[in-house]
Amino acid sequence: MAREFLLPDIGEGLTEAEIVRWLVPEGGRVEADQPVVEVETDKAVVEIPSPYAGTVLRHGGAEGETIGVGSVLVVIGEEGEAEVSTPDVPEPAPSHTAPPIVGSLNEEAEILSAAGATEPDGTPTAVKALPIVRKLARDMGVELEQIEGSGPEGRITREDVLAAGQATTAAQMPGEEPSEQAPTPGSTPVGAREDERRPLSRLRRTIAANMAKSWAEIPHVTTFDEVDATRLVEIKSALSARHDVKLPMEALVIKAVVPALEAFPEFNATLDGDDLIVHTAYHVGIAVDTPDGLLVAVIRDAGSRPVLDIASEVRRLGDGARERSLAPDELSGQTFTVSNIGAVGGGQGTPIVPYGTTAILSVGRAQEKDVVDNGDLAIAPVMPLSLSYDHRVIDGAQGRRFMALVIENLEEPALFLAG
């Protein structure tokens, strides 16, 4: 008997996912627990195993298509078997007062009556499109009723809308003759390359939404400072040589930050309405630069981990983030964030506080500078620091005290390595 496998919720609050690659083609054989498809959520790319053994009768969507949680992901049965509907799912009663909605999630495709369009028998035709596709069509001024969908069962995809929008832009008005006059402002000169419209990737859309929400709702304050990193660099080199590993700077910075989080718990908290939730665990996020965009991987319980364990986790999470192989729970839930922009040659900046937290520390690249040491002028590696925090929760004086303790620890690592 053919069985439908619905897209499960594989992450916190997941409502939809984009099909990246089918690992088993239609008509192919799949075993139970064998990965059948690769999908992209807001942050991760994950493989989903089949719960059944059998033949893949139908894919629930094409590669590049977005489907909602609870939608049919794949139908599996026996070779040559005709696909049948799941018997225990009741069919919705026909309605003559409003267009029916397929499924119960607002992320799934809706069937909308096309104004003025009818089938041969006089009944209205239907347009199938996901809400995000319909929004894109509205933004581009594209009429969905004029598009022939290329998705399953005639569903209109993002690619269909984009193609229609480009065709509309390129088409001339009826009866319009080509003009040899000078181009009007904003138009493309003859012979020049046209601007390219690039749809944002799912990850970039997620980053944009999170950044906009954080910037709009959190009143940011950023304080800047520098630290003499002489001892920090020496300790980093000594530990790397002793244990024959490449010790990431993030590992030492995290160990230096944890005592400050313990002393000033407002920096390890979440503002929830009129309440401040102070977290007892220190889940430190590390910003990772990946080819697809910025990801924040989370080191759980950083306060109880030795520095070499944190170093190993930084390397593992960094590799996993760049490969897009981390699980959703490894990319969420941080209570404080460290961003090492020095790894890409950065100095000071104004980091944006991740939504749901109250602070983020950015560490720049250490460079040789003149410093005064006990009244004597010397040359030392100086590391820039930038601390952004939520001014609703943390006042300026508290921010300076937190930064002072972090600097004290970084200038003498024995203070936090002995703990």
- What is the β-pairing status of strands 359-363 and 336-340? parallel
Scanning the structure block, which residue is given the tokens 């002489």?
230
Is-catalytic flag, 391? yes
Q: Which of 388, 379, 413, 365 is nearest to 252 (CA)?
A: 413
**CB distance 399 to 226 below 8 Å:** no
> Which DSSP symbol is given to 305?
S
- Supply 375's token pair: 């009244």
For residue 363, give the nearest of 376, 344, 335 by alpha carbon. 344
Helix (H, G, I), strand (E, B) or coil at 253: helix
The catalytic position among 220, 243, 279, 391 is: 391
Integer Cα distance of 244 and 99 in angstroms: 66
Strand partners, 277: 270
**CA-based end-to-end distance of the chain:** 61
Strand stretches in 300-412, DSSP E = 336-340, 359-363, 367-373, 376-390
Please name which of 349, 358, 348, 296 lies closest in space to residue 321, comparing C-alpha atoms.
296
* Secondary structure class of 272 (helix, strand, coil): strand
Q: What is the CA radius of gyration of the chain?
A: 28
What long-range pairs does 368-375 form, CB within 8 A, spacing at least 24?
A: 371/228, 373/228
* Paired tokens of 122: 């006089």
Beta strands in 87-142 (DSSP E): 110-118, 124-129
Q: Cα(281)–Cα(381) distance, rounded to whole angstroms?
A: 32
| Helix ranges, 111-229 (H) | 131-140, 158-170, 202-217
Cβ 269 vs Cβ 358: under 8 Å:
yes
Q: What is the bridge-based pairing of β-strands 110-118 and 124-129?
A: antiparallel
Active site residues: 391
